[in-house]
Amino acid sequence: MGYLLDYPVAPELQAFQEEVREFLRAHLTREVVEERQSGEWGNGLGRHGRRFLREMGKRGWLGLTWPAEYGGLGKTVMHRFILAEEMEYADAPQLGTGPSIVGPCLMLYGSDGQKREFLPGIARGEIAFALGYTEPEAGSDLASLQLAAREDGDEYVLRGQKIFNTETHVADYVWLAARTDTQAPKHKGISLFIVDAHSRGLSVQPIYTAGDHRTNIVFYDDVRVPRRNLLGEPNKGWYYLATALDLERFFPVSGVIRQLELIIWHAKQPRPGGGSPLIEDALVRRRLAELVVQAQAVRSISYRMAWLLGQGSVPNIEASILKLYLREFAQRVGRAGVEIMGLYGQLRPSSALAPLGGEVEKYHRASPVLTISGGSSEIQRNIIATRGLELPR
Ligand SMILES: Cc1cc2nc3c(=O)[nH]c(=O)nc-3n(C[C@H](O)[C@H](O)[C@H](O)COP(=O)(O)OP(=O)(O)OC[C@H]3O[C@@H](n4cnc5c(N)ncnc54)[C@H](O)[C@@H]3O)c2cc1C
């Protein structure tokens, strides 16, 4: 671990932190990292990533904070914080949608049958979920979603289109938001479903981001879902979604800190041809120093989130503050990296001359998406302004 990341950990958690590091040394193979970095398989849902997640499942870490009755270990939020930070720093697959969002929502709102059918498989790393919310005309304004779920006997029939549904091509199930009442006000006609990703009538088309990550357009052409896969009550989906969105906003910060460490390391190296290291340039030093201060700020904000969660609160504006600051900080780090490296900084990972194997260039290219996915920066600012500062809408 680098000096920037060596975050303070309470004595009773240090053994767990060491256990996670030990696990990563043993199981995070080059294949798992390469698969994740390729962007083709989402958050580790390729062959190697799935094996890695099953190993985590064997230790109970996919249900780390879940109660024992659902196959969890009942550990604290700080355990989860440490697990997420260590995994992100090592570029390992994160816990994913099933353990972080679907599992906790099922525990709150799912039927006994759903809990029996899905929770053990999620905790063992055998069942993976994709998120099916966004549509071409419903992103920031998610309540406008139109994909129709029509009742037909003991089934619902799904018809419509989703966009930017990452991982649907490799997941087992989709956690899907659909419209079950077209007459009700928009927030009151939405339901949540668990849809088999291999259902007849479901087809997936890839879209690639500037950072080479795959996401998808997904078509639902009369896809049939059994009624037992409806979450809770029909038309209450918006309320369940609100819980799910709050659960999604647990962002580890060590990935961007690792990028900053890499850039600082690079700046300290002798330059090809015998030039003095970049760090000796006062402007470079000043820029890096500013980013180090911001890294400490982002770390503090994430500690506050973890502390609030540990108190049993659901962070709301705090989650928006972290999302906004972290994702914009990531862009500043990526930009600083390629600019400090000069023209070489623009070389892609495929070039033998790319500094740091092109990692910072790729990070820079991928970083604009981070301020869009999971709720855009503008929307986070709106939340902070209206809910946090109580400014008028
Ligand atoms: C790489 C990637 C992966 C994603 N993965 C998933 C996924 O797995 N599942 C899923 O369901 N979705 C996913 N998304 C979708 C993501 O959540 C949406 O893209 C995001 O919420 C923005 O919605 P939009 O793209 O429709 O943009 P729009 O909502 O059309 O917004 C366009 C622009 O207008 C701004 N804007 C919109 N409304 C306001 C407002 N009220 N005030 C101020 N500014 C506003 C936005 O900030 C943005 O800059 C992903 C997106 C990306 C890019």
- CA dist 259 and 244 (Å) reads 29
User: How many C-beta neighbours within 10 Å does residue 185 have?
Assistant: 9
Looking at residue 44, its pLDDT comes to: 87
- CA dist 33 and 91 (Å) reads 6
What string of H, E and C letters represents the secondary structure of the chain?
CCCCCCCCCCHHHHHHHHHHHHHHHHHCCHHHHHHHHHCCCCCCCCHHHHHHHHHHHHCCHHHCCCCHHHCCCCCCHHHHHHHHHHHHHCCCCCCCHHHHHHHHHHHHHCCHHHHHHHHHHHHHCCCCEEEECCECCECCCHHHCCCEEEEECCEEEEEEEEECCCCCCCCCEEEEEEECCCCCCHHHCEEEEEEECCCCCEEEEEEECCCCCEEEEEEEEEEEEEHHHECCCCCCHHHHHHHHHHHHCCCCCHHHHHHHHHHHHHHHCCCCCCCCCHHHCHHHHHHHHHHHHHHHHHHHHHHHHHHHHHCCCCCCHHHHHHHHHHHHHHHHHHHHHHHHCHHHHHCCCCCCCCHHHHHHHHHHHHHHHHCCCCCCHHHHHHHHHHHHCCCCC
- Ligand 1 mutation pick, 43, 45, 140, max ligand atoms within 8 A of CB: 140
- Ligand 1 mutation pick, 45, 134, 175, max ligand atoms within 8 A of CB: 134
pLDDT in tens, 264-289: 999 999 987 888 999 999 999 999 99
What mean pLDDT is predicted for residues 365-375? Answer: 94
- CA dist 170 and 44 (Å) reads 10
Q: Which atom of ligand 1 is nearest to the CA of 209?
A: 1
Task: Specify whether the CB–CB gap between 72 and 123 falls below 8 A.
Answer: yes
pTM of the model: 0.95
- Ligand 1 mutation pick, 147, 373, 391, max ligand atoms within 8 A of CB: 373
Task: Specify whether the CB–CB gap between 162 and 147 falls below 8 A.
Answer: yes
pLDDT at residue 247 above 80? no
Same fold, 11-95 and 130-237: no
382 lines ligand 1 (CB under 6 A): yes
Half-sphere exposure of 155 (CA within 13 A, CB side): 9
Structure tokens, 178: 């659909």
What's the CATH class of domain 130-237? Answer: mainly beta
Q: How confident is the model at residue 4 (pLDDT cuts 50, 70, 90)?
A: low
Q: Compute, in angstroms, the gap from residue 392 CA to the centroid of ligand 1.
A: 23
pLDDT in tens, 147-198: 999 999 999 999 999 999 999 999 999 999 999 999 999 999 999 999 999 9
Q: Compute, in angstroms, the gap from residue 346 CA to the centroid of ligand 1.
A: 27
237 lines ligand 1 (CB under 6 A): no
At 253, the amino acid letter reads: V
Percent of the chain with pLDDT over 90: 86
- Ligand 1 mutation pick, 94, 372, 377, 379, max ligand atoms within 8 A of CB: 372
Provide the mean pLDDT of the chain: 94
CATH 1.10.540.10 holds for 11-95 = yes
Q: Compute, in angstroms, the gap from residue 166 CA to the centroid of ligand 1.
A: 13
140 lines ligand 1 (CB under 6 A): yes
| Catalytic residue numbers, as ranges | 248
Q: Which atom of ligand 1 is nearest to the CA of 213?
A: 1
What mean pLDDT is predicted for residues 247-271? Answer: 90
pLDDT at residue 1 above 70? no
Task: Specify whether the CB–CB gap between 119 and 107 falls below 8 A.
Answer: yes
pLDDT in tens, 197-246: 999 999 999 999 999 999 999 999 999 999 999 999 999 999 998 877 77
Q: Compute, in angstroms, the gap from residue 178 CA to the centroid of ligand 1.
A: 17
Higher pLDDT residue, 157 or 251? 157
pLDDT at residue 5 above 80? no
What's the CATH class of domain 249-388? Answer: mainly alpha
What mean pLDDT is predicted for residues 363-386? Answer: 95
| Beta strands 173-179; 129-132: pairing state | parallel
Looking at residue 2, its pLDDT comes to: 56
Q: Compute, in angstroms, the gap from residue 219 CA to the centroid of ligand 1.
A: 19
Burial track 202-239 (b if 16+ CB lie within 10 A, e otherwise): beeeeeebebebbbbbbbbeebbbeeebbbbebbbbbb
CA distances in angstroms from 275 to 272, 283, 288, 329, listed in the order given: 7, 16, 19, 30
| Beta strands 155-163; 173-179: pairing state | unpaired
98 lines ligand 1 (CB under 6 A): no
Residue located nearest, by CA, to atom 9 of ligand 1: 165
Q: Where are the domains of the chain?
A: 11-95, 130-237, 249-388
Q: Which atom of ligand 1 is nearest to the CA of 378?
A: 47
Q: Which atom of ligand 1 is nearest to the CA of 132?
A: 11
- CA dist 261 and 5 (Å) reads 9
Q: Compute, in angstroms, the gap from residue 374 CA to the centroid of ligand 1.
A: 7
Looking at residue 250, its pLDDT comes to: 76
180 lines ligand 1 (CB under 6 A): no
What mean pLDDT is predicted for residues 311-329? Answer: 91
Rounded to the nearest 5°, which phi and psi values hold at 72? -95, 180
Structure tokens, 234: 């029909």
Q: How confident is the model at residue 19 (pLDDT cuts 50, 70, 90)?
A: very high
Q: Compute, in angstroms, the gap from residue 376 CA to the centroid of ligand 1.
A: 6
Task: Specify whether the CB–CB gap between 254 and 85 falls below 8 A.
Answer: yes
Largest pairwise CA distance in the chain: 76
Looking at residue 3, its pLDDT comes to: 56
